[in-house]
Structure 1
Amino acid sequence: MKAARFAQYGGPEVLEIVDLPDPHPGPGQVRLAVRAVGISASDPKLRAGTLSFGAPLPSTTGAEVAGVVDELGEGVTDVAVGDRVFGVSDDHAGAAEYTLVTHRARMPRSLGFVDAAGLPIALETATRVLDQLTVGAGTTVLLSGASGGIGSTAVQLAGARRARVIGTASAANQHYLRLLGAEPVVYGDGLVDRVRALAPDGVDAAVDIAGSGVLPELVALTGAADRVLTVADTEGAAAHGVHFSNGFADGNAFHAMATIGDLIEAGRFWLPVERTFPLSAIADAHRWSETGRVRGRLVLVV
């Protein structure tokens, strides 16, 4: 099968399309004939070798996938051959013609493969942090970096829980956040004052999604470090007593994939795909991701 791989850490140019053996599922796994692959925020960092849990070399890439089940492992009863499924590649090997998946769900009826491929990690991450901060009705939550894939998802999931959502983004994305249901503020100097203008008593909880060095401001606005989470700033978390949330240490929330269909079918959830790329142009997709200006998701079409 054709698959994307890198044999050394570096820029997008280290990515190449190679021939690899077709995988076959073990117990509990299914094999997907991949149709689309989401570019998650961790993909370029793993390729560059900048994450503490670096990928072994040579390494495949691509975590979020959507496709058609074409082979079942022992004990699988939740899906059948021919089902349209989205989920997470077990070996971070989704940018390929075939991949193996354990965490999965049937695709909502109204979604195509491209839209579904952008959902799994954003759904899991947003659900996990909102659960950890017990965001619900009557809660005011501040989301720093609210216009990307995880942020856009968190805005809408928090709104579905009847929370009040304040989101930071660039000036160009203020209207977009309003469409999603957030009260937008521009990030940068003066953030605390701008948020206090909307919420004079501060906020109940805050999530740092962008990793832009705002943890001191978020702690000031919530009044306590234990009311702040980050998914992007490990060094800042240690320095300011904030919890760094990740699905490995904290337990994952992939169960959200099985329930998001209700919100989608009710017209209460939408995660836009900004651009698509063919698998052969994965390097261009990584370059686009690294600009930091993506609204929604980037997706490879296989």
Structure 2
Amino acid sequence: MVVVVGAPGGVGSLAVQLAAAKGAHVVASGPEEDETYLKDLGATDVVAREGFAESVRKLHPDGVDVLIDLVNGGEAFAELLDLVKPGGRVVSVHRAADPALLEPRNLTGANVMSNPDRDLLDELGRLVAAGTLRVPIQETRPLDDVAQALATAKTKHTRGKTVISM
């Protein structure tokens, strides 16, 4: 059981697909209008952001095995740790997976940053070429608009990646 918070976005959409391809039951956070999109990516359940933790607890009262949080840091991240079973794993892109928070709950975790290497990119390329992994594109913008594209990505809901063309 894998929970992906921020599932519709560029990284989340890949996380949903990769977890589902490994056979995981994926619970994705996302707005109601993204339910079909997320299920097409491989999510088993789609849960709205409003009341997210409580909804996940109702669906999976025994907890989940993995939490991938691509949205929250600090207190909001810490509150979601109660969703994870003892012995589970958590992942944060906001450096929130602090051992001081995780160890008392018998959890392990990682703070993941973008550090692509050739082998990883080759493997992802093979998955895309085989049709196992889709890279959803929300929009394509010219290089002159890169500052606006970054500002938009920080302030609004996204579905997939934004491509900058040169």
Alignment TM-score, normalising by the size of structure 1: 0.47
Q: Which runs of 5+ in 1 are unaligned?
A: 1-139
SS at 1:290 equivalent? helix
Q: Partners in 2 of 1:172 and 1:217 — Cα distance?
A: 25
Of 232, 236, 245, the residue aligned with 2:111 is 245
Q: Partners in 1 of 2:54 and 2:100 — Cα distance?
A: 20
Aligned identity (percent) is: 33
- How far residue 215 of structure 1 moved from its aligned partner, in angstroms, is 2.1
CA 1:174–1:240: 2 relative to 1, 3 Å: farther
- How far residue 241 of structure 1 moved from its aligned partner, in angstroms, is 1.5
Q: Which runs of 5+ in 2 are unaligned?
A: 103-108
Whether contact under 8 Å (2:93, 2:113) holds in the other structure is: no
Q: Partners in 2 of 1:175 and 1:296 — Cα distance?
A: 14
Q: Partners in 2 of 1:175 and 1:298 — Cα distance?
A: 20
- How far residue 155 of structure 1 moved from its aligned partner, in angstroms, is 0.6
Q: Which residue number in structure 1 is paired with residue 93 of structure 2?
A: 231
Higher Cα Rg, which structure? 1
SS at 1:214 equivalent? helix
Whether contact under 8 Å (2:78, 2:101) holds in the other structure is: no
Q: Which residue number in structure 1 is paired with residue 105 of structure 2?
A: none
* Higher mean displacement: 236-245 or 285-294: 236-245
SS at 2:50 equivalent? coil
Q: Which residue number in structure 2 is paired with residue 199 of structure 1?
A: 60
Pair 1:144-2:5 in alignment: yes
Q: Partners in 2 of 1:260 and 1:239 — Cα distance?
A: 30
Pair 1:278-2:110 in alignment: no
Whether contact under 8 Å (1:225, 1:241) holds in the other structure is: no
- How far residue 273 of structure 1 moved from its aligned partner, in angstroms, is 1.1
- How far residue 284 of structure 1 moved from its aligned partner, in angstroms, is 2.0
CA 1:267–1:226: 2 relative to 1, 3 Å: closer
Whether contact under 8 Å (2:69, 2:92) holds in the other structure is: yes
1:75-115 deviations in whole A, cap 9, x for unaligned?
Answer: xxxxxxxxxxxxxxxxxxxxxxxxxxxxxxxxxxxxxxxxx
Of 1, 12, 18, the residue aligned with 1:157 is 18
- How far residue 271 of structure 1 moved from its aligned partner, in angstroms, is 1.4
Whether contact under 8 Å (1:192, 1:221) holds in the other structure is: yes
SS at 2:155 equivalent? coil
Q: Partners in 2 of 1:300 and 1:202 — Cα distance?
A: 40
Whether contact under 8 Å (1:209, 1:231) holds in the other structure is: yes
Q: Residues 258-297 of structure 1: matches in 2 within 5 Å?
A: 258-297=122-161
Q: Which residue number in structure 2 is paired with residue 185 of structure 1?
A: 47
Amino acid at match of 2:4: L
Whether contact under 8 Å (2:90, 2:110) holds in the other structure is: no
Amino acid at match of 2:146: I
Q: Partners in 2 of 1:163 and 1:226 — Cα distance?
A: 14
CA RMSD of aligned residues (A): 2.5
Q: Partners in 2 of 1:219 and 1:247 — Cα distance?
A: 20
Q: Which residue number in structure 1 is paired with residue 106 of structure 2?
A: none
Alignment TM-score, normalising by the size of structure 2: 0.80
